[in-house]
Amino acid sequence: MRFSRTSKALGLAAVVALSLSACGGGTGSDTGSGNAGGDTTKVITANNTEPQNGLLPANTNEVGGGKVMDLLFSGLVSYDAKGATVNELADSIETTDSVNYTIKIKSGETFSDGTPVTAKSFVDAWNFGAAAKNAQLNSYFFESIKGYDKVSAEGSTETAMEGLKVVDDSTFTVELAQPESDFPLRLGYTAFYPLPESAYADPAKFGQNPVGNGPYKLAADGWKHDVSIELIPNDKYKGPQKAQNGGITFTIFANTDAAYTEVQSDNLDVLDQVPPSNLQNFQTDFEGRFVNQAYAGNATLTIPSYLPEFQGEEGLLRRAAISMSIDRQQIIDKIFYGNKKIATEFTSPVLDGYEAALPGSEVLKFDATKAKELWAKADAIKAWPADKVFTVTSNIDGAGNKEYITAMTNQIATNLGIKAELNPIATFKESRNLINSKKLTGGSRAGWQADYPSLYNFLGPLFGTGAGSNDGDYSSAAFDAKLKEGLAATSVEEGNKKFNEAQEILLKDLPVLPLWYQAAQGVWSNNVNTVQFDWKGVPMYYAITAK
Amino acid sequence: MVMFAFRRFLQLIPVFFGATLLVYFLVFATPGDPIAALSGGKPMAPAVEAALRAQYNLDQPFWIQYGLYLKNLVTLNLGQTFSGQEVSAVIARAYPVTARLAIMALAIEAIFGVLFGVIAGLRKGKLFDSTVLVASLVVIAVPTFVLGFVLQLVVGVKLGWARPTVSGAAPWNELILPAVVLGLVSLAYVIRLTRTSISENMNADYVRTATAKGLSRRRVVVVHILRNSLIPVITFLGADLGALMGGAIVTEGIFNVPGVGNLLYKAILKGESATVVAVVSILVIVFVVANLIVDLLYAWLDPRIRYV
């Protein structure tokens, strides 16, 4: 889960909104990779944040490092602009039971240093990522593989997962602990990239100067910490995302306001995040040079199941009442200047299998009268203490959080006739502490950004019983069963059907209240042709051409 | 004089340890779990979490954490950031940039501040004096970030005279705009200090004596009035150097200068004790040394002051 933690300098003026927003019109009509006629030799400059860790696949879990990793490495599969999975290094990924997978990789592929990419490059990299002694942040991504529990246990010295076996140079097999039909979809995520043999001698050193197999490679001494990261095309790359420019230079910006002025003055080519202070005016500042499109992320309000007031029959009524008392569209219009899209379920509209109108989704529509009615019904079962305040906890170091949550609690208070307010927490780390220790006394701000394009990614990790990001401790046997059926399904369509049925259960239980879908706002300079943004809201850097 | 300087240097030792202890404790006492924040709210395998805690000694009580930090400090090991970089390397990158920025800002406020202050002081009540007073009042009243954003938009974006932000290497010429923004508020104070001081000293006995001796006005102003009037200004400038280096957070943010302010701000948010303590301790040393230099300058400016 990636919460917004935009670092803003103290006291920046008029900070109004989270930078992400909703869908709708942007330019971007010039889709497809062919920006015909562009100059393919010029270096493109783009904004980025300093990667938080060394550039190792299993240790990169945030946007700053992720953007670079995705250009330096390529995995078994990759995702196209719409999030559809295409085979990248994989020749085939086969299974008959969703448990045992046989993966064949294309021959003749090499890392940028010339060493071949073999089955072993994948198996060793995944084992490295999972092993406890290497302490890699993404290690939980391998938890479905058989034997993960042994290598990841505290103090474990085992280094190989039982479920991974190299058959020959171009084939390996994966055995999962349980059937998971969307496993192949995950294989394009950063954690699953291969590593060359040279990585293991000194992983920390490798992370400073990684050698990958992606469309770009790091220029000599290319990572100048806190300043810039220079990538040049990797001529050994043969996949579908071949560089159409002379390289990408990421400039590190401490805040996006500074980057915005750089694009305005044509000193920076691409900015993938319009700062909150410019959400109102970026479409006029960059006429014909902006994008505003939905991506696979959402914002929600978690109401933990351990709160006594929100349990049982009256709990369900109260959850529904609060949901219906929030006028989402008004908040989107007034605080985010219309740059978000109202949510009608728990995933994202850019995903395959998305259904806009699931049965039961009326509960996410604003209806003050109905809300009051439901609240009164709940009070009839067990009265809400007269002086009790419904709080919503949020870190306020992320721009815009404070404004929208205050608006939301005001709506709840007015429409339900109770007391409601923001419980402001100074920093992100502090708010995570409260949430992780299950000490909330009310709701909390949450959101999810997909790791890979699948409905399951928005459901399993967040609402499965005991799942890693299940902050509200939601647990439903019926929901878990539906997820399991979905994972065991033999086709993606069949699986998505089950996942949507699982969502219908969530719409009744409302462990979280979906608020809106995120959208990416990006702008580019006069020096480059139209920039396309992908399903994750990240510019497709390899396809950018200079004018 | 030498003894005086030596004693002042000795004072650095307790100041340094006191500062590291205090800052280390403050970072320790800030609520929130840095390791939980590292995962960005995503789940983290328990073994990974335990390993990271052990790596940064976060599983130890305060005194042991601080003790281990000091032990490393003795061997000049400043520790590592959460991203695995050496803190010493991070600081070595950031300090020169901020030092350049602060020195330029200091130069701007010293040169223009004293110049305008002297002219205003000598022509008290005239048009130039009133204009400077009003202008400096405006500058003091407007917050730094407003000045920064306005100058960035006008000079950088609309007029295109300078790059709106500073590029990676932070060369001198690109630092001019941020240095002006950084130094502007202090510049206003320097002007007012100099002006008041000059106009006070104009009526002093020794000035009348000097004039009565038949010295040229130029000599009276430069040697007699100015030298004596500079004492409060120098005091202010000395203290300001430290403030400029540590207080450039807003300016560095606006102009994307990869300096100490940005570094410190990010480290505090992350709860990265090693970085915060190292950065602040060096700032403390800068403060102390700048003050020492100011004290030594007093003796040069006013021969009546003697150090023993």
Written as one string, the DSSP assignment of B176-197 is HHHHHHHHHHHHHHHHHHHHHH
pLDDT of residue A34: 44
pLDDT at A129 over 90: yes
Distance, in Å, from the CA atom of B78 to the CA atom of A365, rounded to the nearest integer, reads 55
> Which residue from A56, A53, A73, A51 is spatially nearest to A199, judged by alpha carbons?
A56
Q: Is A469 on the interface with B (CB under 8 A)?
A: yes
Q: Is B174 on the interface with A (CB under 8 A)?
A: no
Query: Is A290 a member of any domain?
Result: no
pLDDT of residue A206: 94
Chain A residue numbers with beta carbons less than 8 Å from the beta carbon of B97 are: none
- The closest CB to that of B43, out of A261, A435, A468, belongs to A468
Q: Is B50 on the interface with A (CB under 8 A)?
A: yes
pLDDT of residue A37: 62
Q: What is the CATH number of the domain that holds A369?
A: 3.10.105.10
A312 and A194 inside one domain = no
Average pLDDT taken over every residue of chain A: 89
Q: What is the pLDDT along chain B (308 residues), one digit of tens a residue?
A: 778 888 888 888 888 888 889 988 988 888 777 887 777 767 788 888 888 888 888 888 888 888 888 888 888 888 888 877 889 999 998 999 999 999 999 999 999 999 999 999 988 889 999 999 999 999 999 988 899 999 999 988 888 888 888 887 788 888 999 999 999 989 999 999 999 999 888 888 988 999 899 989 889 888 888 888 888 898 899 888 888 887 788 899 899 998 998 899 888 888 888 899 889 888 888 888 888 888 888 877 777 777 65
Residue where one domain finishes, among candidates A206, A231, A256: A206
pLDDT at A20 over 60: no
- CA B91 to chain centroid: 15
Interface predicted TM-score (ipTM) over 0.85: no
Q: Is B178 on the interface with A (CB under 8 A)?
A: no
Query: Is A498 a member of any domain?
Result: yes
pLDDT of residue A2: 41
Proportion of chain A above pLDDT 90, given as a percent: 71
- The closest CB to that of A204, out of B34, B47, B84, belongs to B84
pLDDT of residue B298: 82
* Superfamily of chain region B87-301: MetI-like (1.10.3720.10)
Q: Is B47 on the interface with A (CB under 8 A)?
A: yes
- Verify whether the Cβ–Cβ distance B47 to A153 is below 8 Å: yes
Distance, in Å, from the CA atom of A1 to the CA atom of A435, rounded to the nearest integer, reads 13
- The closest CB to that of B256, out of A254, A264, A265, belongs to A254
Query: Is A212 a member of any domain?
Result: no
pLDDT of residue A364: 96
pLDDT of residue A315: 95
Mean pLDDT of A504-517: 96
Q: What is the CATH number of the domain that holds A153?
A: 3.90.76.10
CB B247 within 8 A of CB B174: no
Mean pLDDT of A375-387: 92
Distance, in Å, from the CA atom of B129 to the CA atom of A222, rounded to the nearest integer, reads 53
Instruction: Specify the pTM.
Output: 0.84
Q: Is A307 on the interface with B (CB under 8 A)?
A: no
Which range scores top for mean pLDDT: A64-78, A427-441, B201-215? A64-78
- Verify whether the Cβ–Cβ distance A137 to B44 is below 8 Å: yes
- Verify whether the Cβ–Cβ distance B269 to A431 is below 8 Å: no
Chain A residue numbers with beta carbons less than 8 Å from the beta carbon of B264 are: none
Q: pLDDT digit string (tens) for A331-345?
A: 999 999 999 999 999
Closest approach of A51 to chain B, Cα-based (Å): 8
A93 and A197 inside one domain = yes
pLDDT at A455 over 90: yes
Q: Is B86 on the interface with A (CB under 8 A)?
A: no
Q: Is A149 on the interface with B (CB under 8 A)?
A: no
Mean pLDDT of A532-545: 94
- Verify whether the Cβ–Cβ distance A2 to B42 is below 8 Å: yes
DSSP-assigned letter for residue A197: G
- Verify whether the Cβ–Cβ distance B168 to A251 is below 8 Å: yes
> Which residue from A263, A253, A266, A177 is spatially nearest to A488, judged by alpha carbons?
A177
Q: How many domains does chain A have?
A: 2
Q: Is A475 on the interface with B (CB under 8 A)?
A: no
- Domain, as residue range, for A461: 296-519
Q: pLDDT digit string (tens) for A463-499?
A: 999 888 898 999 999 999 999 999 988 788 889 999 9
pLDDT band at A9 (very low <50, low <70, confident <90, very high): very low
Closest approach of B154 to chain A, Cα-based (Å): 11
A433 and A329 inside one domain = yes
A382 and A510 inside one domain = yes
Residue B106: count of CB within 10 angstroms of its CB? 23
Query: Residue A470: what residue type?
Result: N
